[in-house]
Amino acid sequence: MQNMAKGQDQIWPELPLEAWADTCQTLQLWTQVVGKIRAALTPWLNHSWHVVLYVTERGLSTSVIPCESGVFCIEFDFVDHVLWIRTSDGAFRQVLLKPQSVALFYSNVMSALTELGIIVRINEMPCELTDPIAFSEDQTHSAYDPEYAQRFWRILLQVHRVFSKFRTAFLGKCSPVHFFWGSFDLAVTRFSGRAAPLLPDSGPLAKVMREAYSHQVSSAGFWPGGGNIDHASFYSYSYPEPKGFRSYGVRPEGTQYNKELGQFLLPYDAVRLAKSPDSMLIEFLQSTYDAAATAGNWDREALECALGVPGKPRRVSSRS
């Protein structure tokens, strides 16, 4: 184990999945309630970008959502452990984040919206989860550990910061750094500019997934773990996966290709305990992107640039 700088364990805190698995599952379902509200009222945006949540200085936010009376916003505040619902006319409601069933959380959120004059109906069945239970009937998931919820958010803050820096080195189409509540991960995605073959997916989300992967991508993200992966990890994949991608010599040491997921994985703890977590994470992001862009024959000269520097416009030549 490498020595950590003073305070690094607070900046990049431990997040052992076994210590907060129940809270993680409940929180994912709560974010799905909120995310589905945004999805129900927001016009469709390419690759499902209209459904995501965004990292804020206090938690996760929907950003503004249109409604008949103007706009409103829903935000998870992991500092004071409150769900805020605020409208553009100054009205607001709060739902406390504390141990409570998904059914009660759902009821409280929908009641708060009704009190604010916001009428919305959503599909109550969770997405991308095994053995889903309708929100209004879910008395099974009710854990909420504020310490671990806040740790998760603090990690998202750091990951968002590094991902945002990495994003500046790309001139082509690139997603925002955003949080997908279905898969419960923070992600950033680069596009080559070429269309991709139709995703062979016949499940209930087939239309959504096919639209999301309509074009060739290199995507990276952070995920707290679950299923057969019992630890938080950074991931990176390419769709469609080009020949030679999985055998590319990616870095840093400890990165492995997971055949079941079709992704390169780097354990979060490897980054957290590194002498320079930022440098290790950038190395992972760049190396796995290199694998996707090289194996996928991307037009790298046209798509790439140097990392952005605060206050300095990118230099543009006559050939740009």
| pLDDT above 70 as % of the chain | 97
Q: In which element (H, E) is residue 143 found?
A: none
Measure Cα distances from 20 to 16, 31, 184, 224, 268 in Å.
7, 16, 14, 10, 15
Q: In which element (H, E) is residue 135 found?
A: none
Q: How far apart are CA 99 and CA 141, in angstroms?
A: 9
Average pLDDT, the chain: 95
Please name which of 118, 27, 35 lies closest in space to residue 81, comparing C-alpha atoms. Answer: 27
Contact 247, 294 (CB under 8 A): no
DSSP letter string, 176-245: -SEEETTTTEEEEEEEEEEE-PPP---STTHHHHHHHTSEEEEEEEEE--BTTB-S-EEEEEEESPPTTS
Please name which of 117, 67, 72, 68 lies closest in space to residue 90, comparing C-alpha atoms. Answer: 72
Q: How far apart are CA 118 and CA 116, in angstroms?
A: 6
pTM of the predicted model as reported, rounded to 2 decimal places: 0.95
Please name which of 102, 109, 106, 107 lies closest in space to residue 139, comparing C-alpha atoms. Answer: 102
Instruction: Please report the pLDDT score of residue 318 as a whole number.
Output: 67
Q: How far apart are CA 161 and CA 155, in angstroms?
A: 10
For 280-290, the pLDDT digits (tens) are: 999 999 999 99
For 286-307, the pLDDT digits (tens) are: 999 999 999 999 999 999 999 9
Q: Which residues pair with 200 in a beta bridge?
A: none
201 has pLDDT over 80: no
| pLDDT above 90 as % of the chain | 91
66 contact partners, CB below 8 Å, separation of at least 6: 41, 42
pLDDT band at 4 (very low <50, low <70, confident <90, very high): very low
Radius of gyration in angstroms for the set of CA atoms belonging to the chain, rounded to a whole number: 20
7 has pLDDT over 80: no
Q: Which residues pair with 179 in a beta bridge?
A: 53, 186
Instruction: Taking residues 50-58, report their average pLDDT.
Output: 98
Measure Cα distances from 289 to 92, 218, 245, 303 in Å.
43, 6, 10, 12
Classify residue 60 by its DSSP letter: E
